[in-house]
Structure 1
Amino acid sequence: MLKCHNVVVIGASGFIAKNLRKHLSDNNIKLISISRNDFKTFKNESKIISKHCDEKNILQKIKNSDALIHLVGIGKQSVKTDFEMVNVQFTKHIVNLTNKAKIKKIIYLSGLGVSPNTSSGYFISKYKAERIIIDSGLNYTIFRPSYIVGQDDLFTKYLKKQIKNTQILIPGSGKYSIQPIHITDVVQIILQSIGDRKFNHKIIDLVGPDLITFEKYVKLFFKGTKINMKKISLEDAYHNAIINPKSDFGIDDLNILIGNFKGNHEKLRKMTKMKFQSIIELLQSSRLS
């Protein structure tokens, strides 16, 4: 049974955060949610609009909370924002804020494939963020999620946008595997992790039960439609990512997609004692498209 009642959510207006905040609110968790953009609140929730999570405006309001959930991060760099600035330095700021506010625990979403041996800029930044949290002395749970899918997730939005083009580009062979997890399972797991000691000081793969190739995922997503799939070489895909700032896939997006990263779902299932939704079944029944 969940004993804590006060939770801070940083990055409150994103896809994961919206679903998580609703789930926590429905379970009578008192929320203090923070975002740089305005957003609608749920019951038991107060909001703070702050572009940089300024300490002077936030510290007293979040003091002695039971947990802080850090959901801010970027997966694609630009001239104005880079991985070091957002994924690393901002995490350092949030960790300092968490310590000063005497918050009992920090929960962080990293990425599947993060390791000390990576050469990807995105994964390097996420690994650095993990180390900042681990070395902070705080109680923590770090999740390494695969693609988190559901209504209005970025991956699904990308695929739906291709319907207008009547053609979707498949980088490379399309035979590389992904291990998506549904948002409803994700929010239940995060709720468990807030108060359950077995999640303390753990790094956990956040992955679904199905390992599915990107090509098969796309075929199931678009079954019954007239969209065509066109495979392009990885060389062309990476070249486009470099020269076209509006490319659907950045360099690190491609690294993640073709990385063939596999997580330990069985460990997650035993830990949570949950029955997970099959993404393949959801795709077959058109409940993701």
Structure 2
Amino acid sequence: MSLPRKVLLVGGSGFVGTAIAERLTRDGVGLVVPTRRLANARHLRVLPGAEVVEADVFDPTVLARLMDGVDAVVSLVGVLHSRPGSPWGPAFARAHVELPTKLVAAARAAGVARIVHVSALGADPAGPSEYQRSKAAGEAAIRAGSPDVAWTILRPSVIFGPGDSFLNLFAGLVRRFPLMPLGGAGTRFQPVYVGDVAEAVAESLARADAVGQTYDLAGPQVYTLRQLVEYVGRLTGCPRPVIPLPEALAMLQAAALECLPGPLMSRDNVRSMRVDNIAGGPPQPWGRTPTALEAVAPCYLGKVNKRGRLDAAQLRRD
């Protein structure tokens, strides 16, 4: 099995999608990247073999047209926030459940026999949050494509790298506020480098033994959320006291933040942090060596200098 000639990259204009697009085009893979607005993906137009098209991927007629001439699909669309609902909120239903279902139906109808779906570590039909349960339902929709559509599911932990919305979020907060009241401070995470996610997608497309498999994607080290926030504070030169919040107070904080445009936190996010976000086995498939957080984060959150290296060493000891 080898890399496909042309891939439909759904959700390709964002942080993770950009890394995947750059990785695939390095190997000569042609891309079709749909986007709601061309301006959102103008940075991808410079990639050789990348075709950026303005399209509504939720429209089955449009999806059918996008499938024409492609050999595989990479599915990346995900959202962190939604109004609550049963069994999950409308934004979760649309992005995490309905879209994968439509992608599989369109691929089957067009004879596109390969899909790699990027889900999330912690996806669980019995998970405590709507996010986790809807992600699991999306995975079930992808698996239902068998045998016509050969699938691989990747479950990354929180993803870091230049332009991320995880470490950069905390970097912005520690620069603005004198202390950090933090819900889920003891929740454990195993952050994965965006470049490793891109490599795993490419390898999944190329490997016959990846078909029908679900893989965790994580980094080499486990940290509590508190350790990560403290590390970001040291790295940016803005160390702040972290005040762990019990869940009841974290829920109140999240309820207030939900009232803001583009909320930083939601009550559903707090529920997600009832379970650790760590790999259940090897951090990455096929014996891959994951990239350390400390090898990358100082390059975009602080100066790569002696202080950054000392802070990285301190984080490993914490």
So what's the TM-score if we normalise by structure 2? 0.82
Gaps of 5+ in 1: none
Aligned partners of 1:104, 1:176: CA distance in 2, in Å? 39
Q: Give the aligned partner of residue 274 of structure 1.
A: 288
Match of 1:237 among 244, 250, 253: 250
* CA distance 1:221–1:195, change in 2 (3 Å): same
Q: Give the aligned partner of residue 185 of structure 1.
A: 196
Aligned partners of 2:212, 2:70: CA distance in 1, in Å? 18
SS at match of 1:203: strand
Match of 1:62 among 64, 67, 73: 67
- Whichever residue aligns with residue 70 of structure 1, its letter is S
- Whichever residue aligns with residue 287 of structure 1, its letter is C
Aligned partners of 2:160, 2:182: CA distance in 1, in Å? 19
Aligned partners of 2:125, 2:61: CA distance in 1, in Å? 35
Aligned partners of 1:288, 1:211: CA distance in 2, in Å? 21
Gaps of 5+ in 2: 302-318
Aligned partners of 1:59, 1:89: CA distance in 2, in Å? 15
Q: Give the aligned partner of residue 179 of structure 2.
A: 167
Residue-pair matches, total: 284
* CA distance 1:132–1:102, change in 2 (3 Å): same
- Whichever residue aligns with residue 180 of structure 1, its letter is P
SS at match of 1:82: helix
Aligned partners of 1:202, 1:121: CA distance in 2, in Å? 24
Query: For residues 61-116 of structure 1, what are the alpha-carbon distances to aligned partners after superposition, in whole Å with 9 as ceiling and x for unaligned?
Result: 43252210111121111489521122111221222111122112111111111123
Correspondence 1:1-289 to 2 at 5 A: 2-38=2-38, 39-40=41-42, 41=45, 42-78=47-83, 81-137=90-146, 138-162=149-173, 163-172=175-184, 174-223=185-234, 225-231=237-243, 232-245=245-258, 246=260, 247-264=263-280, 266=282, 268-269=284-285, 271=286, 273-283=287-297, 286-289=298-301
Single out whichever of 216-225 and 141-150 deviates more from structure 2: 216-225
So what's the TM-score if we normalise by structure 1? 0.90
Q: CA deviation at 1:243?
A: 4.0
Aligned partners of 1:4, 1:23: CA distance in 2, in Å? 13
Single out whichever of 134-143 and 258-267 deviates more from structure 2: 258-267
* CA distance 1:3–1:76, change in 2 (3 Å): closer
Q: Provide the identity percentage.
A: 19
Q: CA deviation at 1:160?
A: 2.1
